[in-house]
Amino acid sequence: MAYFEMSRLALKWALTKPPTTRYPFEARHALAGSRGRLVFTKDNCVYCTVCAKKCPTGALVVNRAQKKWAIDRLLCITCGYCAELCPKKSLELQTGHGTPAITKDLEFCG
Amino acid sequence: MARTIIPFGPQHPVLPEPIHLDLVVEDERVIEARPSIGFIHRGLEKLVEKKDYVEFVYIAERICGICSFIHGQTYCQAVEAIMNVAVPPRALYLRTIWGELSRLHSHLLWMGLMADAVGFESLFMHSWRVRERVLNVIEATTGGRVIFGSCKIGGVRRDIDADGFQSMLKELTLIERDIREITRVFIHDNSVKARLGGVGVLSRQDAYDLGCVGPTLRASGVAQDMRQLGYAAFKDLQVEPITRTEGDSYARCAVRCEELFQSIDLIRQAIAKIPEGEIAVKVTGNPNGEFIARTEQPRGEVAYCVQANGTKNLQRFRVRTPTFANLPAVVKLLQGCDLADVPVLVLTIDPCISCTER
């Protein structure tokens, strides 16, 4: 049986730096390797539509004839499956989460 | 004395997820508890008809937000067994490491919730403070905090290099130090001991007869742990089930506290023994057959039944989650308890209703 176990710990933690950050005044730094926002690079893309076919949530729309690549940010779960499959490495996951989606419309890239 | 029925849940301050109990009470004593579930059913099992067996890993991971990785791993194990896929040893070790990290953060989450349920707010905050360290390790190695997304059929998606293991070991030392301080409060503090000791005693025979699993079963003295089956890399690691004999809420808490150290030890063992090599093999074709995979989740044994008929979509998919197996024990524990003990007893099995209802 022990008494004041927590008081001792609370005192110790009160004298150390807080583990919390003052978000949003202080930005959260993403860890290296974190799965964040999906970015599309137009240069290499051959519009093969593999990413759109394999996306688990159907968040990607690719039109080969019009050379259009679009994403529904609200559906994307940032799993990275598209980036893994892309034969030309046109897709990449950034570590940061970027800005929040403010519209339900598709976001056309490139 | 007249009997009254008091509804408990589905919205209740102590419940992170919705479950409803009709409590038949006489004065302040519960005579009977009638549970009803189904508030958070999402029809995930039905989705096997729409998503192919490779994409379904992502859905299996989302069955639960806490033990997500082990859900994905169990599903992959079932499909790999049907397709006779030989998963590379390094991938098996990585799965073991991530599975144990998942157990660490799940138990710390539960400890925080339990501290909150008994009114120990500062302990709640500090349990989650330590959990945050574990989540950082998970994010640095898998890319996600609770949805790991690193398990796939045939292996894993990501590797961890030597530097990654070194920083993980360094962080584990700090996590272990913090956990030791917190568990000292859980196990030795007078107020926690007085609140949980002797509350909701489940005898060894009752726990076994009611089909309990995981820490709920082990706290009643039954040494059963699915990790002893030797799935993933557990066949090469030393796993001894942690048991207590008291069977009360305090024993269930103590088992989870000790399992934190066991998980840290298992991660260290796995890092020391991890072989070099590939992390995944290419899987072609469609599964055809049936398999039941069993693994040990933080809450207990989970069983995945997968039936495939040679097409890209599975024929049938069924999950038996640990919380579902532990619900009869809650009903038993609530019979004859004080009304004030109901929140503690419901939390004591570490209920995960989203898993249970899928």
> By C-alpha distance, which of A28, A49, A56 is closest to B50?
A56
Mean pLDDT of B152-162: 90
Mean pLDDT of B221-235: 88
pLDDT of residue A1: 54
In the numeric block, which tokens belong to residue B150? 């690193």
Residues of A whose CB is below 8 A from B282: none
Of B55, B185, B189, the CB nearest to A56: B55
Question: How many whole angstroms separate alpha carbon B116 and alpha carbon B99?
Answer: 26
**Residue in chain A lying closest to B157 (CA):** A84
Q: Which residue out of B184, B187, B195, B279 would a mutagenesis test of the A interface target, given it has the greatest number of A Cβ atoms within 10 Å?
A: B184
What are the angstrom distances between the C-alpha of B45 and each of A9, A76, B299, B358? Answer: 45, 21, 20, 7
Q: Which helix (H) or strand (E) segment is A62 a member of? A: strand A60-63
Question: Is A8 among the domain residues?
Answer: no
- Count up the domains in chain B and report the number: 1
Mean pLDDT of B161-190: 90
Whole-prediction pTM value? 0.89
Question: Is A78 among the domain residues?
Answer: yes
Question: Is A72 among the domain residues?
Answer: yes
Question: How many whole angstroms separate alpha carbon B180 and alpha carbon B192?
Answer: 16
Q: How many CB atoms neighbour CB B273 within 10 A?
A: 13
Question: How many whole angstroms separate alpha carbon B37 and alpha carbon B35?
Answer: 7
A23 touching chain B per CB within 8 A:
no
Question: How many whole angstroms separate alpha carbon B182 and alpha carbon B185?
Answer: 5
Of A6, A35, A54, the CB nearest to B189: A6
**Residue in chain B lying closest to A56 (CA):** B55
Mean pLDDT of B136-160: 89
* Residue pLDDT, tens place only, A40-65: 888 888 888 889 988 888 899 898 88
Question: Is B122 among the domain residues?
Answer: yes
- Count up the domains in chain A and report the number: 1
Of A5, A13, A79, the CB nearest to B149: A79
The pLDDT of residue B265 is above 90: yes
Question: Is B241 among the domain residues?
Answer: yes
Mean pLDDT of A33-38: 86
Angle CA(B340)–CA(B124)–CA(B348) in degrees, nearest 5? 45
Residues of B whose CB is below 8 A from A2: 184, 188-190
Of B144, B185, B188, the CB nearest to A9: B185
Which residue bears the tokens 């039941």?
Answer: B292
Question: Is B178 among the domain residues?
Answer: yes
Q: Specify the range with the lowest mean pLDDT, choosing from B14-18, B119-123, B350-354.
A: B14-18
Written as one letter, the residue type at A46 is V
Question: How many whole angstroms separate alpha carbon B74 and alpha carbon B88?
Answer: 16
Q: How confident is the model at residue B145 (pLDDT cuts 50, 70, 90)?
A: confident
CATH number at residue A102: 3.30.70.3270
Question: Is A24 among the domain residues?
Answer: no
Residues 6+ apart with CB under 8 A from B186: B111, B115, B123, B192, B253, B254, B257
The pLDDT of residue B179 is above 90: yes
Q: Decide if B141 and A33 are in contact by the 8 Å CB cutoff.
A: yes
> By C-alpha distance, which of B289, B269, B258 is closest to B83?
B289
**Residue in chain B lying closest to A83 (CA):** B157
Q: How many CB pairs under 8 A join A and B?
A: 59
Host domain of residue A81: 30-109
Question: Is A97 among the domain residues?
Answer: yes
Q: Please, are residues B130 and B108 in contact by the beta-carbon 8 Å criterion?
A: yes
A1 touching chain B per CB within 8 A:
yes
pLDDT of residue B143: 86
The pLDDT of residue A110 is above 70: no
CATH number at residue B60: 1.10.645.10
pLDDT of residue A3: 67
Mean pLDDT of B138-167: 89
Please state, rounded to an integer, the average pLDDT across all residues of chain B.
Answer: 89
B65 touching chain A per CB within 8 A:
no
Written as one letter, the residue type at B52 is D
In chain A, helix, strand, coil percent, each to 5?
A: 20, 15, 65
Question: How many whole angstroms separate alpha carbon B143 and alpha carbon B140?
Answer: 6
User: Phi and psi for B178 in degrees, rounded to 5?
Assistant: -65, -40
pLDDT > 70 fraction of chain B, expressed in percent and rounded: 100
Return the exposure string of B37-54: e unless at least 16 CB atoms fall within 10 Å of the residue's CB, then b.
Answer: beeeeeebbebbeebebb
pLDDT of residue A8: 81
The pLDDT of residue B233 is above 90: no
Q: How many CB atoms neighbour CB A67 within 10 A?
A: 12
DSSP-derived pairing of the beta strands B300-309 and B288-297: antiparallel
The pLDDT of residue A2 is above 70: no
